[in-house]
Structure 1
Amino acid sequence: MHFSVLIADMNLEDYLGFNQHIKKYTSDITINYSTNSKEVLFNLENKNLLVLNTNISNYEQITQRCKQLNIAILLICENERSKKDYDYLLSPVDYDELYFKLENYNSLHVKDIQIKKEQELSSSIINNINNPLFLTDGENVIFSNQYFNQLTSCQNEDEINGKYIKISNIFENENECIQKGDDSWLEKTEKEDNKVCIIYEGAKKYFTIQKIYLAHNHTNIILLNDISHEIKYKNDLFNLLYTDNLTSLPNRAKLIDSLQQNKLNLDAISIFDINSFKEINDFFGHRIGDDILKGVGELIYSCIKDYKQLSLYKFPADTYCITNTNLEQDKFLEIVQNISEEIYKKVFYYEQYEIDVRITAGISFSNKNNKLITADIALQSAKKDHKDYLVFYDELDKFQEYENNMLWSKKLKTAFNNDKIVVFYQPLINNKTMKVDKYECLVRLIDEDGKVISPFFFLDISKKSNQYTKLTKIVIEKSFKKFSDLPFEFSVNISYEDIEDPDFLDFIKEKIKKYNVSNKVVFEILEDENVKNYELLINFVDEIKALGCKVAIDDFGSGYSNFEHLLKMNVDYLKIDASLIKNIAVDENSFKITKTIVEFAKNLNLKTIAEFVENEEIFNITKELGTDFSQGYYFSAPIAEPNLYEFTGENNE
């Protein structure tokens, strides 16, 4: 905060060079000048110090006004006896002496601000420890503080007991909370998830309960801790992650979450895609394109709204999905055909334009675990064959899959035998210091021709051939060895498949003991739809943390994260999903989700990492949102040796 000074003197010649003089020493002091006494009175607002020559007219009025505004006064006098009630300098003014005075007043001003901040902080701490509190024997409120009285809109304990027959009648019936009128509420406060909801001034307030049992009189002190802001962050994040921003329909992430939580038992899925929508978007513009997307969504919904067994989802881009929980196959096919016909007959009018839309559908009744994949395979095949729709059958995906599996299984085996599984390193930049704080360790395969192969080509094959954990262990061994003598924190990627391996944790403990890197290593866990046992995952995190390691959740915001379980996991970092970061400069929804994730993380004291930072624009946006670290090709591609220490402004290819 700048220190603002007004110099008021009839003759300003003495100060002509003072601005240049003071700029040599400081930029914290702002100086204005005036020779007019009326102008001085007008310009006193927001000033910290007035340097006032006693020869200026209206002198007494000016000093009186300064006292009212609490503005310090430094007089310029002809002699020492002119004014002894104020600090003063003798005329003509000596630059160094004036500068010394200004610096002194500035220091006092800064100290005053610091004192005020400390006082405000102390007041804030005192206020924050004043939670709603009451004493109960389980049936009646024996004592209540003013904050609990305010919460219940009562004056005292007698009024509370008269208003509520049961103490638990204070609570509201809300999901995942202790319910209204629950006679066993006191016992339930001992559980970890002991939330309650209370209506206060027309709004829902959420609290956790801390119970302290007093054995001498068999009563309980109940302390309520307000978590309404955490619930709000969670709900806001859920809405952003699980709702399509344009159509307000549930999105793909919502469907996957419902499937993961076993909330849906699907008989069939149909995925619809608008034909040549990019051409419509490019030719007519995004505004009309968005209107068509909304119009198609409304038309599909009108065709299924009378069927409770069917639900509509909006997938990314120009794709929609209908799920069927209990409708016979023939009827479901009839509805899909009807949707295709209705969209074919529909003409969208925009000004002088008439726009016709066609869709293609992929349908799956397959008993395979993932109907989303088989429906998408059917959709792609229907497009390739120029059909309005196609029902998945097993032959669609087997031959190409088998050929690809055999090719990369062979390459993997060769790489394992010849020690051609290597690690590359991509730096993570500290957004405050612009220095390299960490590296992510990334697996690569060197093929027979010496080419460096991305895991995109062999990672899934390693899972299918039960070699994935072997791959992970090689990366861990080589990464631990590399960073054992380097001054960087580093991260390795592990998956739920690794954690399921009963020997995996012992392997980690053995390597940590061998290379002594527990204070450097971060385990990045991809929490996706494959997670079946969250208790196993949470226990693993606790074990790792007990060793002194850190934990990050990878691809956070991709839609799979279960926030209830995340709050229980003692993680250190959230790595924001690349699909959000790479679109943050052009997609409003990606921006909103990223902003909410950063705020959510800060609320939980977690650090955030933005990956896929590919250019300066993306970096500036994510940094402004408050992310702590950045990773991406704007700073450096993955490199063979972790030898970068800071970002120089030049990409390291």
Structure 2
Amino acid sequence: MHYDVFIIDNFLKFNDFKEYSSKKIRNVNISLFPNFEDMINEIEFVDVLIVHIDSIEYYNIIEKYLKNDPYIIFIINDNSDLAKISNSRKLDILYEPLDFSKLTSKIEYFTNNIKNHILLKNEEDFSNSIINNINNPIFSVDKEHIIFANDHFYELTNCYSLQELNQKYKTVKDIFEKEEGCVTDMEKISSNKLEEKKLKVCIKTGNKKRFFSIQKIHLSHNDTNIIILNDISHEVEHKHELYKLLYTDNLTKFPNRAKLIEDLQNNGLNLQAVSLLNINSFKEVNDFFGHKVGDSILIDVAKLISKKIQNHKNLKLYKFPSDTYCVVNTEESRDEFVDLINEIIETIYKNVFIFEHYEIDIRMTAGISFSDKNNKLITADIALQTAKKDHKDYLIFYDELDKFQEYENNMFWTKKLKSAFINDNIEVYFQPLVNNETLNVDKYECLVRLIDEDGKVVNPYFFLDISKRSNQYTKLTKIVIEKSFKKFENLPFEFSVNISYEDIENSSFLDFIKEMLKKYDVKNRVVFEILEDENIKNYNLLISFIDEIKNLGCKVAIDDFGSGYSNFEHLLKMNVDYLKIDASLIKNIAKNENSYKITKTIIEFAKNLNLKTIAEYVENEEIFNIVKNLGADYSQGYYFSAPIAEPNINEFKEKKEK
């Protein structure tokens, strides 16, 4: 920075000062004037004004015309009247005889200290002015206290001054409330690299809690942080409401099956045992007494089971769909758990359920699993079905229950799969996706089919799981991918293929996709549909795979979203393009209020993330009109077309015109 030094000297003693000072001071421009009138036109540029005229009157003239606040040095005699006013007028003086070295020191002091302080003050005033005009609450903190706040932060905290803020919040961490997923530690905020992890805080205003994301600006020159708060309360409330809809049974208000899967997958729930309890012949109760009575019984049974296990900290109740309940055990001994399930069954049997003038007796059957080899939910269900078949109150799963039947079924379909691979009898069928606005077919989903020896087309329901157990699933996926790529290479449609976490885990799978994309020019039209289910063990691997696919120019969809396995925290980290709403929600949307609410919430959630939504299982006009009015972007289902052997848009157009 350069400083302008003006010297008014009518004694001509400063002719040599320029040359002298140039060797002593850097970044200083010195101008000489014989009197004040000659410098009036340039007075606004002066930083240091040196006056070699000993006169109070002259000082008053100068002060009248000064618009900025320069540093003024008067060179005077010992008995000068100017010496008497120097302190009150912020006037600096030097006494005759003139000493160039002292004058140089004065100028150096100004350029190194006073001017910088003025600039910093001006910058601070300017910054504060900008900050106060930003609509977000903003405050600045050192390690312990608030040192600045804008008007929006004062309004948020219902305070009116820094003193009041620091009295209300003794330390910075007192500003933030303890809430799940929120930080309160200022050190964590200060050390956090916000580009790596977005932090969330909660601040209480009156009786209401509000949530904010944080943008942090670190000022290294004084080791402070400016914190900018972005209100995300609506987003948090929306997510909480969605969480309740998806993870709570709408009737009994107990956690549902989806919540159990979430607890197993993400919350470290370690099951020692599972029991599934089912009400016997509940359909008859509904048919005879009506659904209102049936719903009342479902609620009362849930309360009775909950009461029986309330003193057992290691047991938890989940309400499964329809008339099934699940009690999970994390530590209880086997014998105690079996005895407790038996007690629950007896309690339900002895209890008379009264609704208005009806007295209704209920019996329950239970399946219990302690299996370490198999999925406890599946094996508990096998035990339940076997107990019902054998007319027992409960049955504990043992491995022999399903081994023979499973073995026979596996052998049968493994043989059919092997034959289909050899004879190239794995085919791809195509189901159209209709744009809800234009009613045009914009996309197709590619679906695997097996052609039997007699030419019969076999649904994947019969062989897909077998292909996984026999290590043939990825081979099946690769066949579908190549045949789909080849089919759509010269067609103008976007198309999707289904892949699973098992495929993604295969280290060579991504290389195969890259090879196919080089062979077939479809990268801008292919969508990879990924089923997000309980088999996902490593979300970092999944997210990395999605990023790789996107970098190749492809798109990604999450399949069966809302089925109970969908994880919203992970979805926010995934760079996906589409959400396919699960068929179980869509097919019931016209008759089930909960399905309608969940679907509506998912579509709104997707729009907030700029994701397109696809409604699966659109079977009739009523369902189509509902999902269209809710804002779903695409529909897929038998209302428009079953899966077909060849993409044929003309066939659909003819149907639409009819």
TM bin, normalised by shorter chain, reads: 0.7 to 0.9
**Letter in structure 1 aligned against 2:192:** K
For residue 527 of structure 2, give the secondary structure of its aligned residue in structure 1.
strand
For residue 545 of structure 2, give the secondary structure of its aligned residue in structure 1.
helix
CA contact (8 A) 2:255 2:318 kept: yes
CA-to-aligned-CA distance 1:493-516 (integer Å, 9 cap, x gap): 111001001111111112112212
CA contact (8 A) 1:252 1:313 kept: yes
Q: Is 256-265 or 486-495 further displaced after alignment?
A: 256-265
CA contact (8 A) 1:633 1:651 kept: no
Q: Is 309-318 or 130-139 further displaced after alignment?
A: 130-139
For residue 557 of structure 2, give the secondary structure of its aligned residue in structure 1.
strand
In structure 2, how many angstroms separate the alpha carbons of the residues matched to 1:302 and 1:608? Answer: 42
For residue 519 of structure 1, give the secondary structure of its aligned residue in structure 2.
coil
CA-CA distance at 1:330 after TM superposition: 1.4
Q: Which residue of 1 aligns with 2:115?
A: none
For residue 363 of structure 1, give the secondary structure of its aligned residue in structure 2.
strand
- Assess, with a 3 A threshold, how the Cα gap between structure 1 residues 598 and 649 changes in structure 2: closer, same or farther: farther
Q: Which residue of 2 aligns with 1:188?
A: 192
CA-CA distance at 1:352 after TM superposition: 4.0
In structure 2, how many angstroms separate the alpha carbons of the residues matched to 1:651 and 1:382? Answer: 50
Asked if 1:601 is matched to 2:606, the reply is yes
Q: Which residue of 2 aligns with 1:629?
A: 634
Q: Which residue of 1 aligns with 2:420?
A: 415
CA-CA distance at 1:286 after TM superposition: 0.7
Q: Find 1:260's aligned residue among 265, 288, 295.
A: 265
CA-CA distance at 1:199 after TM superposition: 1.3
Q: Which residue of 1 aligns with 2:245?
A: 240
In structure 2, how many angstroms separate the alpha carbons of the residues matched to 1:201 and 1:645? Answer: 62
Q: Which residue of 2 aligns with 1:470?
A: 475
Q: Which residue of 1 aligns with 2:401?
A: 396
Asked if 1:562 is matched to 2:581, the reply is no
CA-CA distance at 1:158 after TM superposition: 4.2
In structure 2, how many angstroms separate the alpha carbons of the residues matched to 1:351 and 1:170? Answer: 53
CA-CA distance at 1:647 after TM superposition: 5.1
Q: CA RMSD in A?
A: 2.1
CA contact (8 A) 1:434 1:646 kept: no
CA-CA distance at 1:487 after TM superposition: 1.2
Count of residues paired in the alignment: 526
Asked if 1:485 is matched to 2:487, the reply is no
CA contact (8 A) 1:349 1:355 kept: yes
Q: Find 1:132's aligned residue among 131, 137, 143.
A: 137
Q: Find 1:168's aligned residue among 169, 173, 176.
A: 173
Asked if 1:303 is matched to 2:325, the reply is no
Asked if 1:276 is matched to 2:281, the reply is yes
Asked if 1:198 is matched to 2:200, the reply is no
**Letter in structure 1 aligned against 2:407:** Y
CA contact (8 A) 2:278 2:324 kept: yes
CA-CA distance at 1:353 after TM superposition: 3.0
Q: Find 1:537's aligned residue among 542, 545, 549.
A: 542
Q: Is 333-342 or 499-508 further displaced after alignment?
A: 333-342
Q: Which residue of 2 aligns with 1:518?
A: 523
CA-CA distance at 1:376 after TM superposition: 0.3
In structure 2, how many angstroms separate the alpha carbons of the residues matched to 1:390 and 1:650? Answer: 53
CA-to-aligned-CA distance 1:334-362 (integer Å, 9 cap, x gap): 11111111211222233443322111110
CA-to-aligned-CA distance 1:366-386 (integer Å, 9 cap, x gap): 112411011000001011111
In structure 2, how many angstroms separate the alpha carbons of the residues matched to 1:205 and 1:470? Answer: 51
In structure 2, how many angstroms separate the alpha carbons of the residues matched to 1:491 and 1:157? Answer: 58
In structure 2, how many angstroms separate the alpha carbons of the residues matched to 1:614 and 1:324? Answer: 40
Asked if 1:147 is matched to 2:152, the reply is yes
Q: Which residue of 2 aligns with 1:379?
A: 384
In structure 1, how many angstroms separate the alpha carbons of the residues matched to 2:324 and 2:654? Answer: 39
For residue 509 of structure 1, give the secondary structure of its aligned residue in structure 2.
helix
In structure 1, how many angstroms separate the alpha carbons of the residues matched to 2:338 and 2:239? Answer: 38
CA-to-aligned-CA distance 1:479-528 (integer Å, 9 cap, x gap): 11111111111111111001001111111112112212121111111000
CA contact (8 A) 1:429 1:646 kept: no
Matches within 5 A, 1:68-147: 130-147=135-152
- Assess, with a 3 A threshold, how the Cα gap between structure 1 residues 651 and 247 changes in structure 2: closer, same or farther: farther
Q: Find 1:340's aligned residue among 322, 341, 345.
A: 345
CA-CA distance at 1:214 after TM superposition: 3.8
For residue 209 of structure 2, give the secondary structure of its aligned residue in structure 1.
strand
For residue 327 of structure 2, give the secondary structure of its aligned residue in structure 1.
strand
Q: Percent identity?
A: 70
In structure 2, how many angstroms separate the alpha carbons of the residues matched to 1:170 and 1:350? Answer: 51
Q: Find 1:506's aligned residue among 486, 511, 523.
A: 511
Stretches of structure 1 lacking an aligned partner (at least 5 in a row): 1-126
CA-CA distance at 1:216 after TM superposition: 4.9
CA-CA distance at 1:460 after TM superposition: 0.4
- Assess, with a 3 A threshold, how the Cα gap between structure 1 residues 292 and 407 changes in structure 2: closer, same or farther: same
**Letter in structure 2 aligned against 1:185:** I
CA contact (8 A) 1:429 1:647 kept: no
- Assess, with a 3 A threshold, how the Cα gap between structure 1 residues 533 and 437 changes in structure 2: closer, same or farther: same
For residue 443 of structure 2, give the secondary structure of its aligned residue in structure 1.
strand
CA contact (8 A) 2:198 2:214 kept: no
In structure 1, how many angstroms separate the alpha carbons of the residues matched to 2:374 and 2:219? Answer: 53
In structure 2, how many angstroms separate the alpha carbons of the residues matched to 1:132 and 1:594? Answer: 35
In structure 2, how many angstroms separate the alpha carbons of the residues matched to 1:479 and 1:490? Answer: 8
CA-CA distance at 1:589 after TM superposition: 1.1
CA-CA distance at 1:612 after TM superposition: 0.5
CA-to-aligned-CA distance 1:164-200 (integer Å, 9 cap, x gap): 2322321111122112x54443113534131111112
**Letter in structure 2 aligned against 1:300:** I
CA-to-aligned-CA distance 1:578-624 (integer Å, 9 cap, x gap): 11111111111111111111111111111111100111111111111
CA-to-aligned-CA distance 1:263-304 (integer Å, 9 cap, x gap): 221211110111111111111111011111112112222222
